[in-house]
Chains A and B, each alone.
Chain A
């Protein structure tokens, strides 16, 4: 069950982790006294790690023909789009 759960939901789970990290960093980083550049760098690294993780898991699961896996792959692709959309914000909005 856990395996099927992760096969299906790895993309959204990475999305939610990435979202929490960058929102947390943007919301709480300043209060901790971190510099804007530091927060921005952290967010970029988080985005890179999240995006790479999804791409890696897509590559690993490419041979799996099970339905749950194919639903999971499409969900992961959609999550990647959402992660990149969030990252776009980092790029175009000044801190």
Chain B
């Protein structure tokens, strides 16, 4: 078999060395584990814990509403319950669980040993888990937010919500946003750069496509909510009036920013679930997925179109008719790609013979429920209908049909389907069928009557209702359904407790006879060797593949550099490019996450000094963690098999870290675009607060010159990598010029007499400066870090990834600074 990259038998010591290198720490050092399998399972487990906690809140609310004029829960507590239920389900369950399944399965699906930044995954998980637990704990101290999960001002302004409850939401979810973005960067780079050789984009599993779109949407959607929470917290803490109408603000600005995140969020949750369905259906029917390319088209199109729908949550706010019509049309357009996927699944089921296993049952349940939710979605996309049912229980029913049907059912199908891939046993078919029956029946009994209650006028978020309105029976039936649904979830939990055992030593094997690579024999190091991929269902095309992979016939069967490695391939054609040395277990991501969560939560309760201390400690941990990256050429090129010799270190646009930095800058750019939208929006609403007198032109000119000088200095530093002192001087000059550029802009505004609390205009101008200031501080820290590495001899013309990333950040900071100057100083003059 000369076609194989490696001949058999492999040296005996090779596998033992591989296992030793990838060994997962035990005991309390398990906290330092970074293997995607462990972090993925921790992540899934934590997300399910939050699902159960939020579900318990839902049951308590249903008990309260079971009968009219009930006094089980008082109004204030009920407000906290529905706010926490929505927030926890959306931020602590729905997004994390799909991210978790991605972290768990993507490397296996792509035959990679791990994701490219395992410590980033660990950091994302621990920040989310620790922060999430403390956030949920606010309920027990009467400190939980109570303004609804979308936290509309003015209800959440200091005037109407003077306590710290709203701050818990605004600051507290900061770490969740950081965690989600960190995970998204990891997933994008992982999917595009660590696929098995030959796994071109059109051979990539649909789940990977859906996760790619999911992560891309997080990059562009989350910055809007980060900005919104930042603005509202600035208003609450420092009286900067972004949303206060008396001083030129507009509460609707919050709604624009929130729903620019919030609507794509629905698809951020749904698309990975659709990806899971597209993986499970072909396996259960025994035929390849029908219309693969159309499904990819549908996923990508949904990702784009979902950004044109945000105003459909605002139809009842009195916006102009033309806007209503635009967004109504866009809302209907997005139904097309969703419909394509549903028809493709039905066609696949029709083409094969569906095995009625537990995953299949959950998929069928999903199809039925999601189609109903989609139909009511088209109904509420029509403006006159939306006006009738807005803020009623019809909307509660609709959103649960879409989210629970569209996401929770596929996730439970995924649990039953994929747990055998990470456990020696599989879950019980008998218990699973009971669970499905209870969940499907319970869900429909709980939520279908809400459509009718809503049409009869029952508003959402009421903690009780009067007798005689005709809502009594519908509510009682809903409560019975909710407990039936909970019983179904309890059966799943019992099944998991009884039958799931975490073991990376071996799994249950390819129990469903699936065709994709996650069903290859796996261990802590992933597959023994990395096979070339020539089709979408490699295990169906080559029955010997699993055995050959496990025997080490394919690429990288050992650990040629003596450390953790994975193959990096090109983004489109998946051609092997280099061997990435992956980082192993460490306390640094764990403590960085602990301090990040502590920073945000201490800030929430106004313990500023301890919060700052935690911020400094976070920074220290991240720098200590970064210090071990950028190893340089520490090993000669390695033969991965079949005569393919690859380098172990590359720089520039071929490097995975360059990609991660570019994606991070896209996040920053998205936030800046959302800020500029806010600035222009406020101008359309309150042109009267725009200033009659602007700062003297000399200030922005001086700032622009300093910005350009700093960019030139950092570019010059790139030519001085071999000359240490010239490099240090160039970077110091760049730091000084950048700081001066920011200072000139701030000073110009301040000297003109503008104060941020005076008007929404002033607040936005200072926010543009503040956001730029954050980037300047980060760039200066990176500059000083680059100098330190140079002085330590860790930066050379070859070993230059640290400089390349600093340079990217620097030029972006300057670009955003110049654009900010142009808008802040140019637009008022242009608009007169």
Contact = CB atoms under 8 A, between A and B. Distances in A.
**Do A and B originate from a single complex?**
yes
Interface of A: 1, 4, 8-9, 12, 15-16, 19, 22-23, 26-28, 30-32, 67-68, 70-71, 74-75, 78-79, 81-82, 85-86, 88-89, 92-95
A28 B683 CA distance: 9
B322 A95 contact: yes
B322 A12 contact: no
A12 B306 CA distance: 11
Contact of A70 (B293, B323, B325, B687): B293
B308 interface: yes
Contact of A15 (B297, B304, B570): B304
Given A26-B326, A94-B321, A71 B297 contact: yes
A60 B816 CA distance: 35
Contacts of B456: none
Contacts of B328: 89
A30 B831 CA distance: 12
Contacts of A19: 308, 330
A67 B322 CA distance: 38
A17 to B, nearest CB: 11
Interface stretch (B331-339, B523-531, B625-633, B768-776): B331-339
Q: Which of A26, A81, A93 has the most CB of B within 10 A?
A: A93
A74 B297 contact: yes
Contacts of B294: 74
A26 B300 CA distance: 27
Contacts of A67: 200-202, 293
Contacts of A82: 305, 308, 330, 333
A81 B337 CA distance: 12
Interface of B: 200-202, 293-294, 296-297, 300-301, 304-305, 307-308, 320-323, 325-326, 328-330, 332-333, 336-337, 570-572, 680-681, 683-684, 687, 831
Nearest to B333: A82
A4 B573 CA distance: 10
Contacts of A4: 201, 571-572
A26 B323 contact: yes
A68 B209 CA distance: 13
Contact of A16 (B307, B329, B333): B307
A85 B332 CA distance: 9
A75 B831 CA distance: 38
A93 B321 contact: yes
A31 B688 CA distance: 12
Given A1-B570, A4-B572, A12-B301, 10 more contacts: A16-B307, A23-B323, A31-B684, A67-B200, A71-B202, A82-B305, A82-B333, A85-B333, A89-B326, A89-B328
B300 A75 contact: yes
B70 to A, nearest CB: 45
Contact of B202 (A1, A68, A79, A95): A68
A1 B329 CA distance: 33
A81 B336 contact: yes
A58 to B, nearest CB: 14
B300 A9 contact: yes
Contact of A12 (B201, B300, B329, B572): B300
A86 B323 CA distance: 11
A75 B213 CA distance: 14
A86 B321 contact: no
20 contacts: A1-B572, A9-B300, A12-B304, A16-B307, A19-B308, A23-B326, A30-B684, A31-B683, A31-B684, A68-B201, A71-B202, A71-B296, A71-B300, A74-B293, A78-B297, A82-B305, A82-B330, A93-B321, A94-B321, A95-B322
A59 B322 CA distance: 33
B56 to A, nearest CB: 41
Nearest to A7: B572
Contact of B336 (A68, A71, A78, A89): A78
Q: Which of A4, A68, A78 has the most CB of B within 10 A?
A: A78
Contacts of B570: 1
A82 B330 CA distance: 7
B831 A32 contact: yes
A85 B333 CA distance: 7
A7 B300 CA distance: 13
A11 to B, nearest CB: 8
A75 B297 contact: yes
B94 to A, nearest CB: 24
Contacts of A27: 323, 681, 684
A31 B321 contact: no
B297 A86 contact: no
B275 to A, nearest CB: 16
Contacts of B200: 67
Nearest to A86: B329
A26 B572 CA distance: 39
B329 A89 contact: yes
A68 B573 CA distance: 10
A51 B163 CA distance: 52
A39 to B, nearest CB: 9
B832 to A, nearest CB: 9
| 8 A-B pairs with the lowest CB-CB distances in the bound complex, closest first | A67-B202, A12-B304, A31-B684, A93-B325, A89-B325, A82-B333, A4-B572, A74-B297
A93 B684 contact: no
Given A19-B330, A67-B202, A86-B326, A78 B684 contact: no
A23 B336 CA distance: 21
B293 A71 contact: yes
Nearest to B296: A71
Contact of B322 (A68, A78, A85, A93): A93
A74 to B, nearest CB: 5
A26 B201 CA distance: 38
Contacts of B333: 81-82, 85-86
Contacts of A31: 683-684, 687
Q: Which of A75, A81, A82 gathers the greatest number of chain B CB atoms within 10 Å?
A: A82
A53 B702 CA distance: 41
A38 to B, nearest CB: 14
A52 B6 CA distance: 53
A48 to B, nearest CB: 18
Contacts of A30: 684
A2 to B, nearest CB: 10
Nearest to B320: A26
Given A26-B323, A28-B684, A93-B325, A75 B301 contact: yes
Contacts of A89: 322, 325-326, 328-329
B11 to A, nearest CB: 37
